[in-house]
Amino acid sequence: SSMPLSKEAVGLREGQVIEHERFGRGVVTAIEMDGSNRRAFVDFESAGRKQLLLKFAKFKIVEE
């Protein structure tokens, strides 16, 4: 059984700033659908550019 997306992952948009448990703070640069999965591309201040599968990513939105 698949976990439902967190409220944050569902509402994620380009330009938002998130705080990721491992990568720290970053800006969402793009969001795309990959089949039924949503994927975010994020530019992190210290970790660089990462792709996150939203159903697994652990983060919170810190700036709309």
CA angle 54, 41, 59 (to 5 degrees): 45
pTM higher than 0.85 for the full model? no
Class of domain 7-63: mainly beta
What is the pLDDT, as a whole number, of residue 3? Answer: 55
Spans in the chain with pLDDT lower than 70: 1-10
What is the pLDDT, as a whole number, of residue 5? Answer: 58
Sign of CA dihedral 2, 58, 16, 14: negative
